[in-house]
C-alpha cells in the first residue's frame, strides 16, 4: 500500500487496542457532545480526527474573542461575526474530516430537549461549564443506560470520570452542590493545557468504550493540576452509593425539571442567559425573528444574523451605565450581555422579549 492510498486512520488502526475492527466500530458510532466551549472543542476535534461516524454538537452560546485563547475550533472571523458555536464547530468539523456526519444544534439543553438528543447516541460527552446541566446529563445517561463521560476544568485544575451502566454515577460522588466551588473561568481564569489534558482523558475513555475495550476504561475520578503537577485517582469500583437518588433510587429530579432554572450566568461572558421553560403547546413554537426585530428596533440597533437576532439597546443601561446587548434565539432564549445580575437580566427579558 502506498502512502497516497493508505487509510486516513492507518496509524490509528495499527494500535493493538483498535485495529480495523475498532475503526469500523468508530465509523458506525454516534457521539453527543453537549457544550462546545474549551472542553467541547477539544473533544470534538479528537473524535472527528479519530473517525467517529456521527457527531451531534449542542451549544447555546456564540463565539467571542476571549474564547479564542482555548476554544480551538473557532477563528477571529467567528468571533467578529458572533457566530453560534454549534454552527462554527460544525463548519470546522467538515474541514477537519468530511467523512464525519456532523450536526450543530444552537440550543439550550434542558429537561424538555435532552432526551431527543441523547436517545440516538452511543456515548455522551460533557463540554459544559455548569453543575446543573451536568446533573441533567447524568440523569439522562443513567435513565437510558448510556455511557456518559464527565469532564470539568477551572484555572489549572481539572477532573474526569466515566458514568457507566450499573456503576457509580456523578451524584454518588457529588450528591448536591458540594461539587460547585464558586470558581469560574471568569473569576480565576483557565489554562488551555489543562483543558487539553482533561478533554484527552474524556475522549480516550469514550473511544475505548466505542471500540469495545471496556476493561481498559479508567474507572476512577481522575483529577490533575497542570501547574502543581499533581495527579490523583479515586477508584469508582466501590463508589456506588446505595442511597444515590439517581442511579439507586432512579429518581431523575433534573430530568423531571425539578431543579430547572431559567437564568444562568455565562462563564467568562459578563452575561446572563434567560431560558424560558417551554412545555405543552409552546414547546415547539419558534419566534418570528423578523417581526421581533421590528419591535426591538424601537429600543436599539438590532439585526438578524446566522439565524439569530442581535443588537444593543439605546433605551436601557446597567447600573454602572454600561451598554446592554441582547442575543435572541428562535426558541425564545436570550443572552443579556453587560451584566451578571440575574434579576436585572430577567427584567430586560420580561420587558422586551416576553411579549414577542
Q: Which residues are catalytic?
A: 185
Closest CA relative to residue 61, chosen from 130, 118, 120, 151: 130
110-119 exposure pattern, b = at least 16 Cβ within 10 A, e = fewer: bbbbbeebbe
Residues present in the chain in total:
356
Per-residue b/e over 276-294, b at no fewer than 16 CB within 10 Å? bebeeeeeeeebebeebbe
Quick check: 47 and 210 in contact, CB under 8 A? no
CB 210 within 8 A of CB 122: yes
Dihedrals phi, psi of 27, to nearest 5 degrees: -60, -30
What is the dihedral sign for C-alpha 132, 83, 197, 206? positive
Q: How far apart are CA 325 and CA 347, in angstroms?
A: 14
Q: What are phi and psi of 292, to 5 degrees?
A: -60, -35
Distances (CA, A) of 103 to 57, 94, 167: 6, 10, 30
Using CB atoms within 10 Å of the CB of residue 235, give its burial: 0 to 12 exposed, 13 to 18 middle, 19+ buried. Answer: exposed
Look-up of cell digits 475492527: 21
| Residue 100 neighbours by CB under 8 Å, 6+ apart | 48, 51, 52, 53, 54, 55, 93, 94
Q: Cα separation of 174 and 172, whole Å?
A: 6
Q: With beta carbons less than 8 A apart as the criterion, state whether 291 and 356 touch.
A: yes
Amino acid at each position: 500500500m502506498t502512502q497516497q492510498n493508505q487509510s486516513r486512520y492507518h496509524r490509528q488502526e495499527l494500535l493493538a487496542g483498535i485495529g480495523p475492527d475498532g475503526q469500523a466500530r468508530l465509523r458506525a458510532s454516534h457521539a453527543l457532545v453537549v457544550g462546545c466551549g474549551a472542553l467541547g472543542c477539544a473533544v470534538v476535534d479528537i473524535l472527528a480526527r479519530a473517525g467517529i461516524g456521527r457527531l451531534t454538537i449542542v451549544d447555546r452560546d456564540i463565539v467571542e474573542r476571549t474564547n479564542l485563547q482555548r476554544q480551538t475550533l473557532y477563528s477571529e472571523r467567528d468571533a467578529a461575526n458572533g457566530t453560534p458555536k454549534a454552527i462554527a464547530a460544525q463548519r470546522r468539523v467538515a474541514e477537519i474530516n468530511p467523512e464525519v456526519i456532523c450536526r450543530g444544534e444552537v440550543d439550550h439543553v434542558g429537561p424538555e430537549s435532552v432526551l431527543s438528543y441523547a436517545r440516538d447516541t452511543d456515548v455522551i460527552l460533557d463540554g459544559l461549564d455548569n453543575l446543573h446541566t451536568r446533573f441533567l446529563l447524568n440523569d439522562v445517561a443513567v435513565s437510558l443506560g448510556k455511557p456518559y463521560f464527565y469532564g470539568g476544568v477551572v484555572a489549572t485544575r481539572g477532573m474526569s470520570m466515566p458514568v457507566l451502566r450499573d456503576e457509580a454515577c456523578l451524584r454518588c460522588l457529588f450528591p448536591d452542590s458540594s461539587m460547585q466551588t464558586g470558581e469560574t473561568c471568569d473569576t480565576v481564569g483557565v489554562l488551555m493545557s489543562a483543558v487539553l489534558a482533561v478533554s484527552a482523558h474524556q475522549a480516550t475513555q469514550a473511544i475505548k468504550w466505542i471500540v469495545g475495550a471496556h476493561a481498559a476504561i479508567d474507572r476512577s475520578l481522575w483529577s490533575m493540576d497542570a501547574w502543581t503537577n499533581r495527579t490523583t485517582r479515586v477508584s469508582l469500583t466501590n463508589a456506588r452509593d446505595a442511597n444515590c437518588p439517581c442511579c439507586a433510587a432512579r429518581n431523575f429530579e433534573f430530568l423531571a425539571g425539578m431543579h430547572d432554572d431559567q437564568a444562568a450566568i455565562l462563564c467568562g461572558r459578563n452575561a446572563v442567559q434567560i431560558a424560558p421553560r417551554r412545555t405543552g403547546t409552546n414547546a415547539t413554537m419558534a419566534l418570528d425573528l423578523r417581526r421581533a426585530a421590528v419591535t426591538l428596533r424601537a429600543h436599539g440597533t438590532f439585526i438578524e444574523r446566522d439565524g439569530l437576532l442581535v443588537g444593543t439597546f439605546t433605551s436601557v443601561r446597567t447600573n454602572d451605565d454600561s451598554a446592554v446587548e441582547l442575543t435572541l434565539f428562535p426558541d425564545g432564549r436570550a443572552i443579556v450581555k453587560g451584566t451578571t445580575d440575574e434579576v436585572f437580566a430577567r427584567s430586560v427579558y420580561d420587558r422586551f422579549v416576553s411579549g414577542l
